Amino acid sequence: MTTPDHLDADRLSAPGGEPVLVVDAARWTRPKAPIQAVVIGVDREDALPDIAVDDFDLLLTLAKDPPRPWVSMDVRDIDGQVARLADAARTNPLAATIAAQVMRTTESLSLTDALTVESFAYSTLLGGGEFARWRAQPETGDAVPTPPDPVQVQRDDDRFVLTLNHPDNFNAMTAAMRDALYEALANALDDPSAPDVLLRGAGRCFSTGGDLPEFGTARDLAEAHAVRTLHSCARALDALGSRATVRLHGACVGSGIEVAAGAYHRIAAPDAWFQLPEVAMGLIPGAGGTATVARAIGRHRTLWMLLSGKRIGAAQALDWGLVHRIEGGS
């Protein structure tokens, strides 16, 4: 395609009708015009060309086990894989392009500032039509009452053991659980004895992420942003530095990995799997994923997780750097 000028660049956006641009990775240079479209670079020759990675939002290759930031494609279904990623962007164009914009913008920011930008964008999308369309779908189930102690806190000598404690709801991250977890992490940060912190989940999995019946229930999106950033568990985990360890098992979905990715030590059980489903809901991560996950595996691979909605297992998470080691048990 010809290099777009500033007027032509309007069409390469969600409002302009084309929110995704698939290009030959070896021959593409990002134009000076400010295009908003998600740029997917494809290496169909298994060449891993020497490129300016900042020009792209997602990089696909036929090479096996490619280095970061590339994502390997199945040679048997190249066109299908590219088409599905592009279709995901076209189905929820604002969520997809905002996700890419946020991660491009925050890549060089501090974690705290990156979380703030993410929260602004998340609140914006909560008020958008794409999320409203997702919410209009038939209900997936009734709310499960939150137990009085959604996070169990145990002091073990010089260590706090924090356990997400709603296994009947797969440790879905309700507002009550988030606030309880933040309070426990803040207490650890304020404790003059500087205890270590171990975060884990009770039951079959670490956490399936945000509690679906609570999604979209906030009436004041500006206040929701303020509360979300004040009680950021990802920021608190990061502030603990090397004192923080998470043990991950079973499903780690949405906020169930976004928060955990803020920890210095991340240990996965062999059965752990990870997924970012937010773009399909007309959203971006709201618990820190555009910052924490992107810092762990890079923004290109994070966007692949968001557009594909696919699960990655413990072995791939280890290879990508989402977790640091795999140990048996939970």
Q: Tens digits of per-residue pLDDT, 128-141?
A: 999 999 999 886 56
Unique residue bearing structure tokens 């298994």:
46
190, two tokens: 């304020």
Mean local confidence (pLDDT), 149-153: 96
Whole-angstrom distance, CA of residue 275 vs CA of residue 208: 9
pLDDT at 326 over 70: yes
Per the CB < 8 A criterion, the answer to whether 248 and 267 are in contact is yes
Mean local confidence (pLDDT), 172-191: 96
pLDDT at 28 over 70: yes
Please give the pLDDT value at position 99: 98
Please give the pLDDT value at position 212: 86
Calculate the CA 116 to chain-centre distance: 15
Per the CB < 8 A criterion, the answer to whether 31 and 52 are in contact is no
C-alpha separations of 187 from 150, 181, 206, 237, 257 in Å: 16, 10, 22, 12, 22
Q: Which of 179, 170, 185 is nearest to 149 (CA)?
A: 179
CB atoms within 10 A of CB 148: 8
For residue range 101-119, list pLDDT tens digits in order.
Answer: 999 999 999 999 999 999 9
Mean local confidence (pLDDT), 219-227: 93
pLDDT at 85 over 70: yes
The pLDDT mean for the chain works out to 94
Per the CB < 8 A criterion, the answer to whether 185 and 155 are in contact is no
Least confidently predicted of 39-43, 138-142, 284-288: 138-142
Please give the pLDDT value at position 142: 67
Please give the pLDDT value at position 330: 45
Strand partners, 299: none
Please give the pLDDT value at position 21: 96
pLDDT at 329 over 90: no
Please give the pLDDT value at position 2: 62
Q: Which of 280, 286, 287 is nearest to 307 (CA)?
A: 280
Mean local confidence (pLDDT), 201-214: 94
Name residues whose C-beta falls within 8 Å of residue 297's C-beta, 6 or more positions apart in sequence: 68, 320, 321, 322
Per the CB < 8 A criterion, the answer to whether 147 and 167 are in contact is no
Q: What percent of the chain has pLDDT over 90?
A: 86
Per the CB < 8 A criterion, the answer to whether 210 and 172 are in contact is yes
Mean local confidence (pLDDT), 193-201: 97
Domains, the chain, in order of start with CATH, read 8-91 (no CATH), 109-326 (3.90.226.10)
